[in-house]
Amino acid sequence: MNLKKRFRRFVERWTLRLIIITPLAALAILTAVITSFYIDKMNFYFKENAARYLDEYIAGEKRQGEIFVEDINLLAKYTVDHLAEKSKKELDERLELPYKAAKSIYNKYDNKLSENAIKERILDALSAMTWHGEKDYVFVTDYDGNNILSASKDLIGKNLSSWSDADGRAIVLEEIQMVRKHGEGYIETRLRDESGLQTIKVKDFGHYKWFFGSGIHKKRVLDEEKKELLDLIERAPKDRSGYIAIFENNRPLFISEEDQTELSSPMLTKMQEHLVDKNGWVELPQENAHIYIRYFEPFKWHLVYGFKKAYLDAMLQDQQKKMKENFDKEVEFVVAVSIFIALLVGILTFIVSRRIITIIKAYKQELDVQENTLRELNSSLEERVNEEVAAHREKEKMLIQQSKMAAMGDMISMIAHQWRQPLNQMSYILMNIDSAYEFNELTPKYMDEKVKEGTRLLEYMSHTIDDFKNFFKPDKERSDEQISEVVKHTISLVEKSLDAHKIELEMKIESDTRLMVYRNELLQVILNLITNAKDALVLGEVNKPKITISLTEDDESITISVCDNGGGVDIAIQEKIFEPYFSTKGEKSGTGLGLYMAKTIVEGHLNGELSVVNSDKGACFTVMLRK
């Protein structure tokens, strides 16, 4: 009996121990297995995310590079498409002052001096004129082919009617026929075998059977346009992660100063080996580089965009470091939680047979721990959401600047229109001073008046440049602005451009209310809408084109309307015109960012709405700003 009791007590004692030990041992084994499995999964997730991040980063850089190169390509196409137009405009300006000066001298001395004396004064005045430092840029010939004035002294007084250019054309006879038939016109020729193609403008003087002329080499105009484009590329903002290089005839032409260290001589040689006429991405494994190549045939340019290796490596190392830190924290957390749960379950198993209330307290404690863990996760999620929102806002600001750069071609055209009249007036002032001095009519009072008049013109031109320069400055804070003043200021920027296209502008200002707005962003929106209306009228060749700008208000909002008589927006595309990269102007004229950025700015930054409707005559874009 005693032996049985002892054995029974022994079994009971070990059974009680096994009840405690077995769950603890099973829990320890299970915890180790689960922890090991979770760590393996986290390690796999870490490696997979690192590879995915690299692919996403490279894809993003590629998109950005393609957009940047495409912007340069569009500017180059615009330059080539308008090369002949620019040459003709420059020739118009080169002949305008000599022609008016000669007319002025003739009108002043007609019936007062002899014909030879008047001719001599005209030729003296023309010989003294310069164009950007170039003397003798105007020639004079009569209807019989006699050269009256020329840059070559050997030709003066000779008859050139039988003279032929490098292609065998009787070019002087063509000039005479042009002025006799049309009064003025343009002729393209190669005067000598070794010279390139020139554009010549001739214009009938109207007296003495004279006509004036001036020529310009197309290659010089092309070289000047290339230089302006390179200067523009140099000043354009670029992402610090990429570099840009331009090769002309397979030789390096342009590398921005900050990228010269990255693009060493061996790297440039490697690039030259891959320069082909096809567009696309090329991977250079040995240099750990990706480059995008686009060929522009008219300039013989290869536009190359690539990633900076050092920046790419630094970004990847930084991201991998952050992911490794997160991974280590996750592992520590899992191990700590596993150990904690194992100890907690062990304690609960040990005392479950003695005190139920202890189990309840332990269960409550476990719930508290899990609630705190959930709060930490929620807090972390909120921080990530805030980071993504901030990143989205930065991308939005970048798109706004890209939209401004896309409009830079229009800005240059507007500056040219703003400056043309002051420059002509300045030429008149200098001519008047010269004539007054020649005839001893130059008095201190007259000189002071002309100096003041010239100073006012220069101040106007300087103010014009400041206006266009301020347009590209991004707004950092809202400012209290009179909306009517912003509208009028915007109109002053484009007024000359509209006049050049003979577009009538009507303003209906019925509000002087002030609002807190981002001034330059509102200016950009209005400018985009006016430019969009102007382009529609020009491309549609509308008879009597007109743009109407209205400013009204009610108790809740201020409304700015830009309407045209260009026929309106096609109903089929009316829902798409505010989408990014959607354009009705074609690749040469439109980027598809103008209306998209205008809507983004109005609805995201200015607390308003942008909409479009078709009226009886054309499209009407409306900006509604809430008070």
Query: What DSSP line would sit under 461-474, residue for residue?
Result: HHHHHHHHHHHTSP
Contact yes or no for 588/78 (Cβ under 8 A):
yes
What mean pLDDT comes out for the span 238-254?
A: 80
Mean pLDDT, rounded, of the chain: 79
- Report which of residues 147 and 278 the model is more confident about: 147
| pLDDT tens-digit readout, 123-133 | 988 888 887 77
Give the end-to-end CA distance of the chain in Å, rounded to a whole number.
100
Please report how the helices 594-604 and 356-406 are oriented relative to each other, as an axis angle in degrees rounded to 10.
Answer: 130
Q: Which of 338-352, 432-446, 455-469 has the highest mean pLDDT?
A: 432-446
pLDDT above 70: residue 518: yes
Contact yes or no for 308/243 (Cβ under 8 A):
yes
Tokens of residue 88, six digits: 């003709």
What mean pLDDT comes out for the span 307-324?
A: 70
Tokens of residue 414, six digits: 């507007």
- Report which of residues 271 and 481 the model is more confident about: 481
Is residue 421 one of the residues assigned to a domain? no
pLDDT above 70: residue 293: yes
Which of these, 605, 596, 582, 378, lies nearest to 479 by C-alpha position?
605
pLDDT above 90: residue 527: no
pLDDT above 60: residue 591: no
Give dist(CA 18, CA 12) in Å, integer.
Answer: 10
pLDDT above 50: residue 158: yes
> Which of 160, 187, 221 represents a domain boundary (last residue)?
221
What mean pLDDT comes out for the span 426-438?
A: 78
- Report which of residues 575 and 473 the model is more confident about: 575
Number of C-alpha atoms within 13 angstroms, CB side, residue 206? 7
Give dist(CA 432, CA 50) in Å, integer.
Answer: 74
Give dist(CA 178, CA 167) in Å, integer.
Answer: 19
Contact yes or no for 535/585 (Cβ under 8 A):
yes
- Report which of residues 396 and 319 the model is more confident about: 319
Is residue 606 one of the residues assigned to a domain? yes
pLDDT above 50: residue 345: yes
For residue 626, report the phi and psi dihedrals to the nearest 5 degrees.
Answer: -75, 145
Is residue 66 one of the residues assigned to a domain? no
- Report which of residues 51 and 340 the model is more confident about: 340
Helices (H), 218-354: 218-235, 265-273, 309-351
Contact yes or no for 596/610 (Cβ under 8 A):
no
Q: What is the pLDDT of residue 257?
A: 59
- Report which of residues 627 and 18 the model is more confident about: 627
Give dist(CA 483, CA 490) in Å, integer.
Answer: 11
Is residue 585 one of the residues assigned to a domain? yes
Q: What is the pLDDT of residue 400?
A: 57
Q: What is the pLDDT of residue 16?
A: 47
Range scoring the smallest mean pLDDT among 70-74, 130-134, 280-284: 130-134
Contact yes or no for 597/399 (Cβ under 8 A):
yes
The residues facing 204 across adjacent strands are 211
Q: What is the pLDDT of residue 554?
A: 92
Residue with tokens 């008149």: 428
pLDDT range class, residue 471, cuts 50, 70, 90: low
- 282 contacts: CB under 8 Å, gap ≥ 6: 274, 290, 291, 292, 293
pLDDT above 60: residue 287: yes
Range scoring the smallest mean pLDDT among 9-13, 150-154, 330-334: 9-13
- Report which of residues 576 and 384 the model is more confident about: 576
What mean pLDDT comes out for the span 319-345?
A: 75
pLDDT above 50: residue 563: yes
Radius of gyration of the chain (CA): 39
Give dist(CA 309, CA 295) in Å, integer.
Answer: 24
Exposure class string for 442-480: b at 16+ Cβ within 10 A, else e: beeeeeeebeeebeebeeebeebeebeeebeeebeeeee
Handedness of CA 530, 536, 537, 539 (dihedral sign): positive
Q: What is the pLDDT of residue 264?
A: 74
Beta-carbon count within 10 A of 619 CB: 23
Residue numbers of the domain that contains 152:
83-221
Please report how the helices 83-109 and 408-438 are oriented relative to each other, as an axis angle in degrees rounded to 10.
Answer: 20
What mean pLDDT comes out for the span 399-406?
A: 58
What mean pLDDT comes out for the span 254-263?
A: 69
Contact yes or no for 491/505 (Cβ under 8 A):
yes
> Which of 221, 255, 275 represents a domain boundary (last residue)?
221
Residue with tokens 């796999």: 44
User: How many distinct structural domains can be found in the chain?
Assistant: 2
Is residue 342 one of the residues assigned to a domain? no
Is residue 512 one of the residues assigned to a domain? yes
> Which of 172, 190, 221 represents a domain boundary (last residue)?
221
Tokens of residue 235, six digits: 């000043």
- Report which of residues 624 and 376 the model is more confident about: 624
What mean pLDDT comes out for the span 428-450?
A: 81
What mean pLDDT comes out for the span 9-25?
A: 60
Q: What is the pLDDT of residue 535?
A: 86
State the DSSP H helix or E strand holding residue 3, giving kind and residue range, or none if neither.
Answer: helix 2-81
608-614 vs 557-564, strand pairing mode: unpaired
pLDDT above 80: residue 537: yes
Residue with tokens 């706004």: 400
pLDDT above 60: residue 116: yes
Give dist(CA 291, CA 295) in Å, integer.
Answer: 13
pLDDT range class, residue 56, cuts 50, 70, 90: confident
User: DSSP code of 146?
Assistant: B
| Residue 70 burial (C-beta neighbours within 10 Å; 0-12, 13-18, 19+) | middle
State the DSSP H helix or E strand holding residue 185, giving kind and residue range, or none if neither.
Answer: strand 184-189
pTM of the model: 0.40
CATH number at 514 reads 3.30.565.10
pLDDT range class, residue 558, cuts 50, 70, 90: very high
| Residue 172 burial (C-beta neighbours within 10 Å; 0-12, 13-18, 19+) | buried
Is residue 449 one of the residues assigned to a domain? no
Give dist(CA 342, CA 324) in Å, integer.
Answer: 27
CATH number at 156 reads 3.30.450.20
Q: What is the pLDDT of residue 393?
A: 63
Beta-carbon count within 10 A of 257 CB: 7
pLDDT range class, residue 625, cuts 50, 70, 90: very high
Is residue 51 one of the residues assigned to a domain? no
State the DSSP H helix or E strand holding residue 537, giving kind and residue range, or none if neither.
Answer: helix 519-539
